Amino acid sequence: MPRIKSPADLEQFRKELLSKADPNRPCIALCSGSACNASASAEVALALEEEIEKQGLRGSVDLRRTGCHGFCEKGPIIDIHPEGICYFNVAPEDVPEIISETIKNKKVVERLLYTDPATNEKIVYESEIPFYKNQERRVFQNNSKIDPKNIDDYIAVGGYSALAKALSNSTPEQVVDMVKASGLRGRGGAGFSTGKKWEFARSTPGDIKYVIVNADEGDPGAYMDRSLLEGNPHAVLEGLTIGAYAIGSHQGYIYVRQEYPLAVKNVTIAIKQAEEYGLLGKNILGSGFDFFVEVQQGAGAFVCGEETALLRSLEGKAGEPKARPPYPAVKGLWDRPTNINNVETWANIPLIINNGPDFFASIGTEGSKGTKIFSLVGKVNNTGLVEVPMGISLKDIIYKVGGGVPKGKKFKAVQTGGPSGGCIPAEYLGRGVDFDELAKVGAIMGSGGMIVMDEDTCMVDVARYFLSFLTDESCGKCVPCREGIRQMLKILTNITIGKGKMSDIDRLEKLARTTGAASLCALGKTAPSPVLSTLRYFRHEYEEHIKKHYCRAGVCKQLVKSPCQNSCPAGIDIPRYIRAIGDGKYGEAVAVIREKIPFPAICGYVCVHYCEAKCRRGELEEPIAIRELKRFAADHDNGQWKENVKVASPTGKKVAVIGSGPAGLTAAYYSAVLGHDVTVFEALPKAGGMMRVGIPTYRLPAEVLDKEIKEIENVGAKIKTNSRVESLDELFAQGYDAVFVGVGAHRGTNMGIEGETTPKIIDGIDFLRDVNLGKEVTVGDKVLVVGGGNVAIDASRTARRLKAKDVTIVYRRTRAEMPASKEEIDEALEEGVKIEYLATPTKAMKVDGKVQVELIRMALGEVDESGRRRPVPIAGSNFTGEYDLILKAIGQESLVPGTYGLVVEKGGRIKVDPETLATSRKGVYAGGDVVSGPASVIEAIAVGRQAAISIDKYLGGTGNIEEVLAPPEGAPAAFNLEEAEGEQFRPSIKMLPIDKRLKGYAQVVLGFDQKKAKKETARCLRCDLEKR
């Protein structure tokens, strides 16, 4: 092994290495970092070695086992140089093909390439893959190119030239100045100016000084340092040596957590090789400067990431932090001046020396220069390590690099800074990430952990999780941390199990103040941050857990019987009725459903089934067909539930319900059962609201609707149709004691285009109402429907039934963003409806007896606060079309008479107290679409229940609408494990053939038969029986 005696020697050696290398020789760079190792990259390496041997290619192909490439979601990863072809999820079985096809025949193996999820295109080269393309890999770039166990690789890419430069061209003070000028701030989380810190240690007198690499990376979810140390240990060593020179230290330590065995191994090998080459140890590069480095391992204590605790650990003591001042730069390890920096900080030093401080400072923000490596993990498509310029927005990291949130779930928050950090909600996604910006919204950038959370994450549970972590990791020396965190954890735990009180929030804040102010070290001082930031942005979740014992994300096990029931706005006991159907007890199933809603059949036909989106079975093959099963039960009901309905004796109170939609009828039903004298006033000729006039009869047959509305009357509620209510004063004058306003949202929103009032442009809602009420409606041949929700779909399919030959829906985004339900979009397409995506009308005018519309094409631009990409018009892409009829279905508004005297907001919506549904007027309650805007039948039903509760309480009652309609359930039958094993998909749902559908309004979805229904119930995982 040659000893490199001078900078000139080093240059010479590098030139020799480069001249020996053949740039055209294929090199297979296989990622061998810890994450890929966990995905069996070691087996892939073996397979590669064997295959290379087998195909006689030894000597003509290089196999390089490199460090972490960063795209950990898709490991094991192979880069094929010199082309830059990138293969993902490589398995040992793929190896023979890779060698034959790509190495020998220069052909690409398609199935191993990256597929862009937006375009479905395959991408061959790493540099074109969005995950890599949108990064700025300065510190991390060599990870995929070098074998960390081979120092020659590092030297060949320019390694140790910074050290040579520093030792030969600069004094130690000059090196410190360069680092100061660069603006580099510590990457471990605290962000102190590295140059200034070095200066403190430099200026403290003393012959013995220490420099230390803090590789005790402990934030859960953060593994940047591990990958750097495993993949490019020499970069860290080089930086450390330069720092030692600058400060005047001759002894360095690398403190690595023992949970990183590969990092320990690779950095130990690196030290040995550097010493052998004379790049470490005595008289480095002939400069006369001596510097020795030792590796010491942590022993499993998160607190040892705190610098003073780390020093205690190096001294062979328990990792208890010590008070500062004095700072380690003055009195550190063994009371000597000591400089401790994070792994990534040290790795940046060679870049600063080689390229100069100005280059380093050329990217980043005013206060935060350079790049930062983040570990982007959690609910994000492209999980892995990403290096980006400081100042890049959270949005760009998560969506451009990260590829957004998987499975179409909604983004909820991003957690940064680990247990010392906070959760940032969607409204701040546009913020730049650096040391100062995130602090303004109650978070910190921290060491780089970035955990994306979606709608299925409970923010109260997140706070509890971090407190649990810190309780476990607190050293225990000081009272505020040891006791304070533990007490906060107790409170949080109680909240997550339904034992919380509203006063707990005050107690949490009080504990946060003391723990945050009086703790000995940063662990305790920052411990309250996750709690405080989740309280700041997600207080409603805390209140729901406390007041309603409700965990909206479905996480807190004590509060969630099953994910389906938890997500049902009415809280129907779904697993129970599914079991009943499986046992053939259909009447009992309906009784169970009826305990929560008065419309089991209607929901069985048209519910939006939020439950299915949360069904655990959906994580395996597909969700249980809960809605179809509900319909099946309702269609086979024996009416046994009626025997248990107990209508209370008359209370003498009169309740008026305005609007006979699901909200109003539900409120009427429960109010009548409680004994009140209820009258429902409906302006239209028939009762049912949107169920009657919005939903076409091929989805919800009139007989089904009529039958269930009859049951409302059977408990004593009176329904008066053709009875518009003009004033509430009159109702009160007539002796009504309370009123519920559920008039819905029956007016279509305007498109806001020129020519809006052109004849033949009509409101989709008006159109559907006319058809459903039996009016004569002609549509002509060519119809355009504007919008992407269920109204647009219903209107288009109805137009087809009215004999329109050419029906097109135009929607400004793509199918993935359409709010309409997937099944109905499919059914519409089957029925010949066309959908034009990414277009929107700009103006309309009358031409002969038709409407001419000008439209413009759209492209999906930047992500907005809702997490969806905003559509942006493409200039000059206008096109026109002529239609017999235009139906607008882009939104709905409400028309509440001013004479009601209620406070109304944008869109005509009535303002109510979110808990009681009380309006601004005493005794008047409101709910449903008129409050929320267009929602769903099941949400309206849930509102109706709450309205009945509030009204009963207002009228002096208990507000208890709970009913027991089903017999008590015996012990559920044992789960048949055999039946449950293996992949099982839903039985097919019988549908009316397409040719029959367009003939009229016959039911399209024909549902399950007895056999299929029973089979489907067996797929249910019975989550409600999970032990808690």
Residues numbered 31 to 60 that lie near other proteins (CB under 8 A) are 34-35, 37-39
Of residues 117, 281, 367, 476, which one binds other proteins by CB under 8 A? Answer: 476
From 48, 52, 63, 72, residue interacting with other proteins (rule: CB under 8 A)? 72
Contact segment (CB under 8 A) with other proteins among 130-138, 202-210, 314-322, 1007-1015 equals 314-322
Q: Among 222, 405, 467, 924, indicate the residue that binds other proteins (CB under 8 A).
A: 222
**In 892-984, alpha helices (H):** 929-932, 937-954, 977-980
Residue 374, CA atoms < 13 Å, CB-side half-sphere: 36
CB of 701 to other proteins, least distance (A): 41
Which of the ranges 235-243, 391-399, 477-485, 937-945 carries the binding residues for other proteins, by CB under 8 A? 477-485
Residues 231-260 that bind other proteins (CB under 8 A): 258-260
- Smallest gap from Cβ 983 to other proteins, in A, equals 12
The distance of closest approach from Cβ of residue 155 to other proteins in the complex, given in angstroms and rounded to an integer, is 28
Here's the x/- map for other proteins, 260-279, by CB under 8 A: it reads as xx------------------
Q: Does 519 bind other proteins (CB under 8 A)?
A: yes
b/e burial code for range 167-205 (CB count within 10 A of at least 16 → b): beebebeebbbbbbbbbbbbbbbbbeebbebbbbbbebe
Taking CB under 8 A as the criterion, the residue among 18, 21, 46, 299 binding other proteins is 299
Count of residues engaged in binding other proteins, rule: CB under 8 A:
79
CB of 272 to other proteins, least distance (A): 16
Query: In this chain, which of 290, 315, 726, 730 binds other proteins, going by CB under 8 A?
Result: 315
Closest CA to 624 of 1019, 347, 968: 1019
Q: For residues 670 and 643, is the Cβ–Cβ distance under 8 A?
A: no
In this structure, are strands 879-883 and 850-863 parallel, antiparallel, or unpaired? Answer: antiparallel
318 interacts with other proteins by CB under 8 A? yes
- Asked if residues 454 and 405 have their Cβ atoms less than 8 Å apart, the reply is yes
Q: Considering only residues 15 through 34, tell me which ones interact with other proteins, judged by CB under 8 A.
A: 34
Binder among 110, 472, 726, 864 for other proteins (CB under 8 A): 472
d(CA 531, CA 534): 5
Smaller CB separation from other proteins, 281 or 476 = 476
Smallest gap from residue 524 Cβ to other proteins (A): 9
Is 75 one of the binding residues for other proteins (CB under 8 A)? yes
517/964 with CB nearer other proteins: 517
Instruction: Convert residues 333-362 into a mask of x (bound to other proteins by CB under 8 A) and - (unbound).
Output: -x----------------------------
CB 41 within 8 A of CB 28: no
Binding flag, residue 314, other proteins (CB under 8 A): yes
Distances (CA, A) of 30 to 76, 91, 451, 672, 964: 7, 12, 27, 71, 63
Query: What value does the CA radius of gyration of the chain take, rounded to a whole number of Å?
Result: 34
Residue 982 Cβ vs other proteins, minimum distance, rounded to whole Å: 11
Q: Among 319, 332, 500, 563, which residue interacts with other proteins (rule: CB under 8 A)?
A: 319
Q: Read out DSSP for 131-182?
A: HHHT---SSSGGGGTS-TT-HHHHHHTTTTHHHHHHHHH--HHHHHHHHHHH
Minimum gap (Å) between residue 152 Cβ and other proteins: 28
DSSP-assigned letters across all residues of 369-431: BSEEEEEEEES-SS-EEEEEETT-BHHIIIIIIT---GGGPPEEEEEESGGG-EEEEGGGTTS
150 to 28, 137, 632: CA distances (angstroms): 15, 21, 67
Residues numbered 438 to 457 that lie near other proteins (CB under 8 A) are 449, 451, 453, 457
Which is nearer to other proteins, 326 or 584 (by Cβ)? Answer: 326
Among 87, 465, 698, 740, binds other proteins (CB under 8 A): 465
Handedness of CA 994, 997, 1003, 1004 (dihedral sign): positive
Q: Which residue's CB is nearer to other proteins, number 478 or number 607? A: 478
CB neighbourhood size of 872 (10 A):
13
CB 216 to other proteins: min, Å: 12
- The answer to whether residues 666 and 657 touch, using CB atoms and an 8 Å cutoff, is no
Q: How far is the CB of 51 from other proteins (least distance, A)?
A: 24
Closer residue to other proteins (CB): 515 or 1017: 515
Q: Which is nearer to other proteins, 509 or 830 (CB)?
A: 509
Nearer to other proteins, 457 or 936 (CB): 457
Does 520 participate in binding other proteins (rule CB under 8 A)? yes
Piece in contact with other proteins (CB under 8 A), picked from 153-161, 388-396, 510-518, 940-948 = 510-518
Please count the helices (runs of H) and the strands (runs of E) in the chain: 39, 33
Element (H, E) at 540: helix 529-547
Residue among 400, 477, 800, 888 that touches other proteins (CB under 8 A): 477
Stretch that binds other proteins, among 299-307, 719-727, 827-835, 998-1006 (CB under 8 A): 299-307
Structure tokens at 867: 């997490």
597 binds other proteins (CB under 8 A): no
Compute the CA torsion angle 365, 369, 375, 377 (nearest 10 deg).
0
Site for other proteins in 413-432 (CB under 8 A): 415, 418
Instruction: Name which position in 28, 285, 443, 511 contacts other proteins (CB under 8 A).
Output: 511
Residue 307: φ, ψ to 5°: -60, -40
Structure tokens at 613: 């989106």
Give 129's DSSP letter.
Answer: S
Decide: is 206 part of the binding site for other proteins (CB under 8 A): no
892, 877 contact by CB (below 8 A): no
Query: CB 518 → other proteins: shortest distance, Å?
Result: 4
Q: What is the four-CA torsion angle of 992, 994, 996, 997, rounded to 10 degrees? A: 80
Query: At its nearest, how many Å lie between other proteins and the CB of residue 346?
Result: 19
313 near other proteins (CB under 8 A): yes
x-or-dash string of contact with other proteins, 368-407, rule CB under 8 A: -------x-xxx---xx-----------------------
The alpha carbon torsion through 999, 1001, 1007, 1010 (nearest 10 deg) reads: -90
486 forms part of the interface with other proteins (CB under 8 A): yes
Q: Is 473 in the site for other proteins (CB under 8 A)?
A: yes
Contact in structure between 214 and 342 (CB atoms under 8 Å): yes
Helix ranges, 856-958 (H): 929-932, 937-954
Using an 8 Å Cβ cutoff, are 592 and 634 in contact?
no
Using CB under 8 A, which of 218, 243, 305, 357 touches other proteins? 218
Contacts for 694 with CB less than 8 Å, ≥ 6 apart: 765, 768, 769, 772, 791, 794
